[in-house]
A and B are shown apart, each in its own frame.
Chain A
Amino acid sequence: MAYITVTDLSLGYESHVIVKNLDFSVNKGDYLCIVGENGSGKTTLMKTLLHLREPMSGQIVTGDGLKRNEIGYLPQQTEVQKDFPASVYEIVLSGCQGRLGLRPFYSSEEKKLARENMERMGIAGLEKRSYRTLSGGQQQRVLLARALCATRKVLLLDEPVAGLDPVVTMQMYDLIEELNREGITIIMISHDIEAAAKYASHILHIGDKIFFGTRKEYLEGEMGRLFANKREGGERNNG
């Protein structure tokens, strides 16, 4: 059984439907990219996958030993976080909150986990630094480390490279790819179809037309051809 199976899902606000009849599944080890224009419902879909909001209709079933709260989440930055006085360590440690239950304090095991994940993300030296003084790329690494504290299985990333410069963007994609190779399932929302075509194993395109399939199917299909044409056109113009 797949980690996440979505059947006949409809999303929207109040009575306004944004996406209809969505069917897809995510298996262990997949790297799924969700692409689509602004307002096509990407973020709404992600919030529904996280059970932050209810779908209008349809089902989301988790299986293969994945529990509902074993999903790590890398949200887009909020206004509140920009001047939040918190150290890197405090934020990463808060990724363990799902393990706390009714226990009030973190155990030494959880503190160790936080340190390991900081090391893994290459931010161990920033431990005592304030989150608000970090660069955009460093902040994303902190939030990734936090998400890794919450899960060993699935990571949901909402536009992880938004606002990052090209070099840091590449580093971020490499980091995510590495996590995927270590066996963590990735679901990523992206504007960047090019990156999706490069890294993803599966692609879900939502909008007027819905596509779900492997990267290969996408590139050979109608939408992929459109994308490839656009890219060639762009390159010709540049040359």
Chain B
Amino acid sequence: MDKLFLYLQFPFVRYALIVGVLIALCSSLLGVTLVLKRFSYIGDGLSHVAFGAMAIASVLNFTNEMVLILPITVLCAVLLLRTGKNAKIKGDAAIAMISVGALAFGYLLMNIFSTSSNLTGDVCSTLFGSTSILTLTKEEVWLCIVLSVTVLLIFVLFYNKIFAVTFDEDFSNATGTRANAYNLMLAVVIAVIIVLAMNLVGSLLISALVIFPALSAMRLFNNFKSVTVFSAIFSVICAFLGIVISILAGTPVGSTIVAVDVAGFIICCAAGMITGGAAR
């Protein structure tokens, strides 16, 4: 405990906690919708796109990589969610295709044009999360706070519409809700969260932040509101514990958070079985 308080006096530890918890909160809110829409893997696909975009940006020597990563990821998110229904290549196949394609091109580009002496280290840190969450600047923290608050506001204001569109798109369209507009909005928000979350857990583990809170909540609760609220709480607690443990034990941040998520999921499963949870 003393050790924790000692660490908390360092600003970089506080920054990491703030950013980690906010990202976990945002991704869990959207996770419920994504899991129910059968888009669990979109986080994975988009993060690989972000990885590919990052490789391009570093090859082109962009000083601010976000300028390229964000638009490309948003574009792919829009394409993936839009083509969900009528495309010749269906949802899961499209995600898999874009995901591995971007991953391969990203690694290829980094290999051919690399200027770094430690290529494997670079790639590994983008895939599994780097220590960059511990080297955040004050500006980055503020950017993250602003974006997270925006995502939260969007989610709260459109909560009823998001529920309706997730449950039954045809009915929504028929009664005058423009479901496509909301799908587009979700796609953009998801892309933003994923680009933010890459710093935290790396592109291979992002899906965990999206799916584990939602799945855990669905073990225990029966209505949309409780599932959403619980998954947000679950995600925040897991992210907080994960970061604290990783600081105290010196383990990698990303995989520690995911490990805590997995443990939480198992606990929720057990609790669900004992209380009869979602089967009521």
Chain A interface residues toward B at CB < 8 A: 47, 50-52, 68-69, 71-73, 75, 78-81, 84-87, 89-91, 94-95, 97-98, 100, 104-106, 128-130, 133, 146-147, 150, 156
> In the complex, given contacts A81-B168, A94-B163, A94-B168, what are 4 additional A-B residue pairs having Cβ atoms less than 8 angstroms apart?
A80-B167, A85-B221, A87-B222, A94-B171
Cross-chain contact B223 with A87 (CB below 8 angstroms): yes
Q: Which of B37, B156, B170 contacts A73 (CB 8 A)?
A: B170
- Whether B160 lies near A130 (C-beta < 8 A) is no
Task: Say yes or no: A47 contacts B170, CB within 8 Å.
Answer: yes
Complex Cα distance, B202 from A43, in Å, reads: 45
Cβ contacts A to B, 25 pairs, < 8 Å: A47-B170, A50-B170, A51-B173, A73-B174, A73-B175, A75-B171, A78-B168, A80-B37, A85-B218, A85-B221, A87-B222, A90-B223, A94-B168, A97-B172, A98-B175, A98-B177, A100-B161, A104-B159, A104-B160, A129-B222, A130-B222, A130-B278, A133-B222, A133-B280, A150-B174
Question: How distant is the Cα of A89 from the Cα of B222 in the complex, in angstroms?
Answer: 12
Asked whether, in the complex, the Cβ of A104 is within 8 Å of the Cβ of B157, the reply is: yes
Shortest Cβ distance from B37 into A: residue: A80
A105–B158 CA distance with the chains assembled, in angstroms: 8
- CA A181 to CA B164, docked complex, whole Å: 29
Contact A85 B171 (CB under 8 A): no
User: B152 to nearest A CB, angstroms?
Assistant: 13
With A80-B38, A81-B168, A85-B221 already in contact, the answer to whether A52 and B173 are too (CB < 8 A) is yes
A237 → chain B, closest Cβ, in Å? 40
- B193 interface residue, CB < 8 Å from A? no
Tell me, rounded to whole Å, the shortest Cβ–Cβ distance linking B177 to chain A: 5
Alpha-carbon distance A80/B85, docked complex (angstroms): 13
Complex partner residue of B174 from A69, A81, A94, CB under 8 angstroms = A69
Q: Determine whether the beta carbon of A85 is less than 8 Å from that of B223.
A: yes
In this complex, what residue of B is CB-closest to A91?
Answer: B167
Contacts of A156 in B (CB 8 A): 174
Contacts of A81 in B (CB 8 A): 167-168
CA distance A100 to B157 in the complex (A): 12
As a 0/1 sequence over residues 248 to 280 of chain B, the CB contacts with chain A under 8 angstroms (1 = contact) are 000000000000000000000000000000111
A73-B170, A75-B170, A87-B222 given; A94·B160 CB < 8 A:
yes
Query: B221: which A residues are within 8 A, CB to CB?
Result: 85
Main secondary structure of the interface of B (DSSP, over half): helix
**Judging by beta carbons under 8 Å apart, are A68 and B176 in contact?**
yes
Query: What residues of A have a CB within 8 angstroms of the CB of B170 in the complex?
Result: 47, 50, 52, 73, 75
Q: Is the pair B164, A94 in contact by a Cβ cutoff of 8 Å?
A: yes
For B185, the chain A residues whose CB sits under 8 A away are none
Q: Is B113 in contact with chain A by the CB < 8 A criterion?
A: no
Q: Which residues of A contact B37 (CB under 8 A)?
A: 80
Whether A87 contacts B176 by the Cβ 8 Å rule is no
Report A195 CB to chain B, min CB distance, Å: 24
Contact B224 A100 (CB under 8 A): no
Provide the residues of chain B in CB contact with A79, threshold 8 Å.
38
Which of B38, B163, B280 is in CB contact (< 8 Å) with A86?
A: B163
Residues in A whose Cβ lies below 8 Å from that of B225: 90
Question: Is B89 close to A, CB under 8 A?
Answer: no
Minimal beta-carbon separation of B270 from chain A (angstroms): 19
A52 touching B279 by the CB < 8 A rule?
no
- Asked if B227 CB lies within 8 Å of chain A CBs, one says yes
Q: Which residue of B lies closest to A130 (CB)?
A: B222
User: Is B36 engaged at the interface, CB distance under 8 Å to the other chain?
Assistant: yes
Cβ contact within 8 Å between B279 and A97: no
List B contacts of A100 (CB < 8 A).
160-161, 177
Partner of A150, one of B38, B167, B175, B280: B175
